[in-house]
Amino acid sequence: MRIKNLNELIETYKDFPEKGIDFKDVLGIMHEPEVFKELILKMSSSQIIKNAEAIIAIDARGFIFGSAISLQASKPMVVARKPGKLPGEICEKNYSLEYGESSLSIQKKAIQKYNSFAIVDDLLATGGTVNCVSKILQSKNKEVTGLLVVVELIKLEGRLKLDFPIESYINF
Ligand code: AMP
């Protein structure tokens, strides 16, 4: 499952956005379209995507990967957004993350039509963010087929919080 060169495109920023956090920046992947393409092809062919009626991408870097997978796999995409960004009726839930607290919202109308979702984000750390999205979906009786992330921070054991299949492509 390892993609050549992917590792070296991810830069680490020490003490960002707070002291003690090693921030893993995935934006370098987009500087190398051939590597980005290979990654998107791999993610799109995952059983987690195939088993889902739709993709749910997480604010904000998850949108980059989610929308490319949506096009490649011909699956609809909806978004989970940070507070105050989505119009209309929303489902919202608070969560804590590696640094601080936040909440995520999903438009009720956007998820109505679909029964199963593959969650897409750039990185899995403590698992709080993905857990929040899955809890919102499950509260609406939606199935989560799994999670696709580019990077997984293994030591933070985020996957222990999650009870569905997880695919990651780089581990730190
Ligand atoms: P968590 O809820 O702890 O799994 O955090 C995952 C979310 O926060 C993802 O949407 C990431 O974009 C962001 N994030 C958390 N920790 C980091 C990190 N060390 N480097 C880059 N992004 C991070």
The answer to pTM > 0.95 is: yes
Q: Which atom of ligand 1 is nearest to the CA of 126?
A: 3
Give 51-82 as a DSSP string: T-SEEEEETTHHHHHHHHHHHHHT--EEEEB-
Q: What percent of the chain stands above pLDDT 70?
A: 97
User: Three-class SS of residue 93?
Assistant: strand
Structural domains in the chain, CATH included, are 3-171 (3.40.50.2020)
Which residue ranges have their beta carbon within 6 Å of ligand 1? 21-24, 58, 61, 97-98, 121-129, 158
With a cut of 80, say whether residue 1 has pLDDT above it.
no
pLDDT exceeds cutoff 90 at 51: yes
Q: Which of 18-32, 63-77, 98-112, 157-171 is least confident?
A: 98-112
Give the mutation target among 59, 97, 152 for probing the ligand 1 site: most ligand atoms within 8 A of CB. 97
Quick check: 137 and 156 in contact, CB under 8 A?
no
Report whether pLDDT(5) > 90: no
d(CA 47, CA 69): 13
Which whole number is the average pLDDT over 26-31? 97
d(CA 85, CA 90): 10
Closest atom of ligand 1 relative to the 121 alpha carbon: 10
Residue 45 has pLDDT above 90, yes or no: yes
CA-angle at 88, arms to 82 and 90, nearest 5°: 50
Cα 123 to ligand 1 centre (Å): 6
Q: How far is the CA of 53 from the centre of ligand 1 (A)?
A: 26
Q: In the structure, what pLDDT confidence band is assigned to residue 3 with cuts at 50, 70 and 90?
A: confident
Residue nearest to atom 3 of ligand 1 (CA): 126
